[in-house]
Amino acid sequence: MSDQNPVFIPGPTNIPDRVRRAMLVQTSDHRAPDFAATFAPVLDGVKRVLGTAGGDAVLFPASGTGGWEAAVANTLSPGDRVLMARNGMFSARWIDLCRRHGLDVEVIDCAWGAEAAADRYAAALESDRAHTIKAVLVTHNETATGVRSDIAPIRAAMDAAGHPALLFVDCVSSLASMPFEMDRWGVDVAVSGSQKGFMLPAGMAILGVGPKARAAMETARLPRGFFDIRDMMSANATGGFPYTPPLALIHGLRESLEMLFEEGLDAVYARHRRLADGVRRAVDAWGLRLIAERPEIASDTVTAIAVSEGVDATALTDHAYAAYGVSFGVGLGPLAGRAFRIGHLGSLTDVMVLSGLATAEMAMADLGMGVELGSGVAAAQEHYRTTRTAPVAAAA
């Protein structure tokens, strides 16, 4: 029966029954004229979630990593210089991907637990008088550390320096769960995936592509085939796909978008903030600390929690799974064994989150971690009880 338990990893997330049913479709012809009637509203809905009117939504059969590759391969040339902060596992992996593509990456090293520092981006951009930096990359929500970085100050730094670089943002674990404003923040390429806030299985890279990035594709010289955005956009314009599309995921995404819009995006963001606040209160009650250096940069989709000296955090997540059939996120990179993560995004309610907190407490008690049963749950209960709103369909 453990497969009925929700997961508390930061993706893939729980799949609502409505979305699962929407994906149970018979094979259909993606080259038939009526495919456009299914597909076009999906692209429009993704643009709405991205917060763009002038950009395009592009979907590839891939994960967010494929989206990273599409972003750089379509807009840059071998040897181009790019600037990126490294403040966690996923920013580090995007840097590695850029280097594998022959790009010259200037790295701003930040502590794991710190945000991508806008002032350090500003200094690097100001010193680049010859405008050799062709792209600025930022991880909006670092899934490994539970840290959110503000994008608007980084765009402001670019504008203040009069710098023409493209701005790429990884919003894999934030889109459809936390506010994202592609147009207002001046984002040229946004990269996300299906398996987080969109409540789908992994398998679809979701990109927002702005006008400046579209123009850069005409002169970019990095090779691209499967991830050629121009091919994709050309096929999309006539209601098609340049190769076989992931039809089940597209049907699921259409239903996911309906759920998000029924709840209302502002309500979705408020729900995630409320769930996150309850988890943070529980962590405080347990006497543990967040990996995030300051409360104001803590993520609303995943909380990374440092365990006490001498405790093996991986043993904790392994025990929670073996004893109670519940999954929590393990620590990644230098946080392996030193931290665990509670994902609280996608299809979750306060009642579901309370079950996860109760399970974490039981696992910690079983391992002699000195956590009082009920302490974190009670702290979260008090928060949820006093801030509750009417149930909404999208959180069911």
* Domain 17-261 class, CATH top level: alpha beta
> Bridge-partner residues for 104, per DSSP?
81
Taking only the tens place, the pLDDT of each residue in 255-289 is 999 999 999 999 999 999 999 999 999 999 999 99
Architecture of domain 2-12+264-395: Alpha-Beta Complex (3.90)
Domain ranges of the chain: 2-12+264-395, 17-261
| Strand order from edge to edge, sheet including 289-290 | 289-290, 302-306, 339-343, 329-330
CA distance 98 to 219: 18
How many Cβ atoms from other residues are within 10 Å of residue 29's Cβ? Answer: 9
CA angle 194, 253, 237 (to 5 degrees): 100
The 10s digit of each residue's pLDDT in 92-101 is 999 999 999 9
Based on the number of CB atoms within 10 Å of its own CB, is 91 exposed (0-12), middle (13-18) or buried (19 or more)?
buried
Alpha-carbon distances of 126 from 30, 82, 149, 168, 307, rounded to whole Å: 49, 14, 20, 19, 40
Confidence (pLDDT) at 395: 41
Residue 2 has pLDDT above 80, yes or no: no
Q: Is the pLDDT of residue 159 over 90?
A: yes
CB under 8 Å to 264, separation ≥6 — which residues?
A: none
Q: Quick one: pLDDT at residue 31? A: 85
Q: What pLDDT score does 388 carry?
A: 84
Q: What is the pLDDT of residues 55-73, one digit of tens each?
A: 999 999 999 999 999 999 9
Q: How far apart are the first and last CA of the chain?
A: 20
Lookup result for tokens 């995943």: 302
Burial of 141 (0-12, 13-18, 19+ CB in 10 A): buried
**Averaged pLDDT for residues 229-241:** 95
